[in-house]
Amino acid sequence: MARVYNWQIARKMSYWYGESRPKRQFAAVFDTNKCIACQTCTISCKTTWTSGKGQEYMFWNNVESKPYGGYPLTYDLKLMEMLGAQNWKGDIYQGQTIFEAAPAGERVLGYAPHHREYAYPNIGEDEIAGVVDKGMHLTLPNMVWMFYLARICNHCTYPACLAACPRGSIYKRPEDGIVLVDQKKCRGYRECVKACPYKKAFFNSCTGTSEKCIACFPASEQGSQPRCFTECIGKIRLRGWINVPSKADENNPIDYLVHIQKVALPLFPQLGLEPNVYYIPPIHVPDPYLVQLFGPSAPAAVEKYKACHEKDPKMASLIQLFGCTPHVVSQFEWEKDKISALNDKKEKLVTVPVTEPVTIRNPFDLKRSVPRMNIN
């Protein structure tokens, strides 16, 4: 196996192929604090891409309630148990990745879910961790808690599905880093299904081939964000591009949140895939759980997010830009009272006020001689 550098675990690791990064890398940031689990993203993806035969069980996008929810059932718990101890020393991951922990004769440590495990996409929805007793009051982090985790394919820098495929039918597009399946090459061995730790590769029993999220690349080629992004009611998603840390651009919104402010973190970085979907962690969840999901930087990211309105108005303004344009946001410009999203040509896509104007009215309308009612 080759040795490649994974900046998310701050060390070199073993991978089936040599390091080869695309010209540009698809990336996104999800703000978990805004998600309301309306499932609009799930339905928009489902009706666009997976409404055919053999796709009935597929959810390329899903929203699960943590800590008990998961699609397929307990996918994360099973893999964490298989991987064993996941120790960090500062930002350096000292445990094994799923490539390094692969058993003899296997390229990746993984498992193939039973078909019944796909039958409960909303199990654990709104189930809290803990019990509400008399006299309890609100604290941060909450003593009882849950949160919503929206998931798509991470279009990883080191995809497990790509490494595991014996046919070489999975590839990473050099122009944007989106991971796709070549349907003509695929023979349905399902090694990708077994290998992907996020379980975002699916087998279509009618076509005999594997399928997965394609990041709505036809829309991306036209400068538009994926359907699950544009239809998001909670405005939790921002689609852009990410650079490696040494080339971080402070005017790039993804770079700014991931590399500069370090408030957006990858999901299960210890697995070694260098995923390219990043999450702003929920502010009300205990640190140990967040560290397991997002790595050792999670507690600091939470504190920075909580304080941004007072200490970092630029970051607070950028978060307000989420969901304000259907186009891919490559750059942003911030002023004290407004923030703008820019495309690849540095043309302004949208400008959003940082604060809305407030008008305080007299409670009694003298002109009409009637009291005014405040409607919230």
Closest among 138, 189, 199 to 164, alpha carbons compared: 189
Lowest mean pLDDT among 130-144, 150-164, 225-239, 272-286: 130-144
52 and 205 in contact (C-beta within 8 Å)? no
| Confidence at residue 74, expressed as pLDDT on a 0 to 100 scale | 95
- Model pLDDT for residues 255-307, shown as the tens digit of each residue: 999 999 999 999 999 999 999 999 999 999 999 999 999 999 999 999 999 99
Closest among 115, 143, 117, 149 to 131, alpha carbons compared: 143
Q: Where are the beta strands (DSSP E) in the chain?
A: 2-6, 11-15, 25-31, 62-66, 88-89, 92-93, 147-151, 170-172, 179-181, 201-204, 209-212, 237-242, 265-266, 277-280, 331-334, 338-342, 348-353, 364-365, 370-371
Confidence band for 375, pLDDT divided at 50, 70 and 90: low
The 3-class secondary structure across 83-135, one letter per residue, is HCCCCEECCEECCCCCCCCCCCCCCCCCCCCCHHHHCCCCCCCCCCECCCCCC
Three-state DSSP class for residue 304: helix
Closest among 269, 305, 311, 314 to 285, alpha carbons compared: 305
What's the chain's average pLDDT?
95
pLDDT at 376 over 60: no
Contacts of residue 199, defined as CB under 8 A and 6 or more positions apart, other chains included, come to 71, 72, 75, 113, 193
| Confidence at residue 63, expressed as pLDDT on a 0 to 100 scale | 97
For domain 2-129+138-280, give the fold: Alpha-Beta Plaits (3.30.70)
- Model pLDDT for residues 315-362, shown as the tens digit of each residue: 999 999 999 999 999 999 999 889 999 999 999 999 999 888 888 888
In sequence order, what are the beta bridge partners of 172?
179
The amino acid present at 100, given as its one-letter code, is: E
What are the boundaries of each domain within the chain?
Answer: 2-129+138-280
Pairing type for strands 364-365 and 277-280 reads unpaired
- Model pLDDT for residues 102-143, shown as the tens digit of each residue: 999 999 999 999 999 999 999 999 999 988 887 788 777 878
- Model pLDDT for residues 60-94, shown as the tens digit of each residue: 999 999 999 999 999 999 999 999 999 999 999 99
102, 151, 235, 283 from 34: Cα distances, Å: 37, 14, 7, 11
Pairing type for strands 25-31 and 277-280 reads parallel
| Confidence at residue 84, expressed as pLDDT on a 0 to 100 scale | 93
145 and 130 in contact (C-beta within 8 Å)? yes
Of residues 354 and 163, more confidently modeled: 163
| Confidence at residue 91, expressed as pLDDT on a 0 to 100 scale | 96
pTM: 0.93
For the segment 204-230, the average pLDDT, to the nearest whole number, is 97
pLDDT at 182 over 60: yes
Structural tokens at position 345: 């040509």
Of all residues in the chain, the percent with pLDDT exceeding 90 is: 89
What's the longest Cα–Cα distance across the chain?
Answer: 84
Q: How far apart are CA 243 and CA 258, in angstroms?
A: 10
324 and 350 in contact (C-beta within 8 Å)? yes
| Confidence at residue 374, expressed as pLDDT on a 0 to 100 scale | 66
| Confidence at residue 361, expressed as pLDDT on a 0 to 100 scale | 83
| Confidence at residue 143, expressed as pLDDT on a 0 to 100 scale | 82
Helix, strand and coil percent figures for the chain, each rounded to 5? 25, 20, 55
217 and 225 in contact (C-beta within 8 Å)? no
Contacts of residue 205, defined as CB under 8 A and 6 or more positions apart, other chains included, come to 54
Cβ-based neighbour number of residue 56 at 10 Å: 13
Confidence band for 223, pLDDT divided at 50, 70 and 90: very high
| Confidence at residue 133, expressed as pLDDT on a 0 to 100 scale | 82
